[in-house]
Amino acid sequence: MNVFGIIGWKNSGKTGLVERLVSGLTKRGFSVSTLKHAHHSFDVDNRGKDSHRHRVAGASQVLISSAERSALMTESRGSKEPSLRSLLAKLDPVDVVLVEGWKCDTHPKIETWRSENGNPVIAANDTTILAVASDLKLDLDCPVFDLDDTNALTNFVITHLELLE
156, part of any domain:
yes
151, part of any domain:
yes
72, part of any domain:
no
68, part of any domain:
no
Burial degree of 13 (CB within 10 A; 0-12, 13-18, 19+): buried
Number of domains in the chain: 1
54, part of any domain:
no
CATH code of the domain in which 11 resides: 3.40.50.300
Q: Is 80 exceeded by the pLDDT of residue 39?
A: no
Question: Which residues, 6 or more positions from 22, have their beta carbon under 8 angstroms from its beta carbon?
Answer: 32, 34, 98
Question: Which residues, 6 or more positions from 63, have their beta carbon under 8 angstroms from its beta carbon?
Answer: 70, 71, 72, 73
Range of the structural domain that residue 110 is part of? 2-39+81-161
Model confidence, pTM: 0.88
116, part of any domain:
yes
47, part of any domain:
no
44, part of any domain:
no
pLDDT at position 42 is 60
pLDDT in tens, 79-134: 888 899 999 999 999 999 999 999 999 999 999 999 999 999 999 999 999 999 99
